Amino acid sequence: MPAKPPTTAASKPLAALLVAAACGVVGLLIVVPLVSVFYEAFSRGAKAWWEALAHDPDTRHAIWLSLTVAPVAVAINTVFGIAAAWLVARFRFPGRSLLISFFDVPFSVSPVVAGLALVLIFGRQGLLGPTLEWLDWKIIFSWPGLVLATTFVTLPLVVRELIPVMEAIGPDEEMAAVSLGASGWQVFWRVTLPNIRWALLHGVVLANARAMGEFGAVYVVSGHIAGATDTMPLRVEKLFQEYRQPASMAVASVLAGLALVTLVAKFVIERRLEAESRELEAARSLADSLDHKNVEGAVA
């Protein structure tokens, strides 16, 4: 137990002031907006809220579209995240650190810029436009474009969760499995996946939240065709532009509810991650002390 700083007693009023200020900042910037989404959405009663969501075919379609685009983007992310983390955490090769910094690019590039780049490739005036027209494939203003844009903006989320965890766990167990004759798939399913499952789930939850809520990149590639290419966040914007604030707030409240569920899931998963990290540390220090004893024994 570290000694209490001598300032504690004297700084009580200061501490209270700082806590009040911090709560004021978070309250005004975060809590008030969050509460007001639900207040505005339900201000005309639960029935009106439900009707705004369920009785508008375009809104229904937007919910359906979000529910089909996000899982595909998250699935691509999961496969990519596991492969990329395995590559970077388990092997050393030239260009490795450059590759790692490429993983971060989607975070720093404006989603609008990403959407525009996709339009320049797949749009009618784009690089592959004539080819796609000849094949009669539609990517921009259509479902595949939405998936591509969503995948781009969520790309770092899974891999960024997995790399530190895989590095901390180290390759010992996997190498033991290989030396005992396990195949690559067996190593993955029996050793790697159980070890990284909470980190993977963490990444998937975050990627899903971002995928459901993505606006900028999707806005550029969707073409806003109501009932066809409007996802939930785009529907929020369209209803807002049409001065249908209550309906807009109703869709927004669904997205905000989803964000709250995400945060609760994130909180639970992080506690699991911390527990496993502590277990790993304990196992390591036990192994280290045993090693130490063996060495001492051999010397004696």
Partner 1 sequence: MNHPTSDTIAIAGSSAFATGPRRAASAARRRHAAVLPGFGASAAITSLVVLSLIVFPLAVLILRAASLGPAGFLEAAWTPRSRAAYAVSLSASLLAAATSSLLGLLVAWVLARIEFPGRRLLDALVDVPLALPTAVAGLVYSALYVKKGWLGQWLVPLGIQGAYSYLGIVLVLVFVSLPFAIRVVQPVIESLDRDTEEAARILGASRMQTFLRVVLPAILPAVVTGFALSLARALGEYGSVVFISGNMPFKTEIAPVLIVARLEEFAYAEATTVAVLLLAMSIALLVVVNSLQQRLARNAQ
Return d(Cα 44, Cα 4) in angstroms, integer: 53
Contact set for partner 1, span 43-72 (CB under 8 A): none
- Residues with Cβ < 8 Å from 109, sequence gap 6 or more? none
CA distances from 293 to 74, 281, 289, 296 (A): 47, 18, 6, 5
Could you identify the residue written with the tokens 């029935």?
A: 47
Contact set for partner 1, span 109-138 (CB under 8 A): 109-114, 116-121, 125, 127
Return d(Cα 205, Cα 259) in angstroms, integer: 10
CB of 131 to partner 1, least distance (A): 14
Considering the rule CB under 8 A, would residue 145 count as an interface residue with partner 1? Answer: no
Considering the rule CB under 8 A, would residue 248 count as an interface residue with partner 1? Answer: yes
- Looking at 48, 63, 259, 268, which residue binds partner 1 (CB under 8 A)? 259
Taking CB under 8 A as the binding criterion, the range among 35-43, 45-53, 130-138, 292-300 that sits at the site for partner 1 is 35-43
- Looking at 25, 193, 282, 286, which residue binds partner 1 (CB under 8 A)? 25
- Looking at 172, 282, 283, 289, which residue binds partner 1 (CB under 8 A)? 172
Taking CB under 8 A as the binding criterion, the range among 42-50, 53-61, 131-139, 153-161 that sits at the site for partner 1 is 153-161
- Looking at 53, 70, 139, 187, which residue binds partner 1 (CB under 8 A)? 187
What tokens does 204 get? 């998937």
- Burial letters for 94-125: b for 16+ Cβ neighbours within 10 Å, e otherwise? eeeeeeeeebeebeeeebeebbebbbeebbee
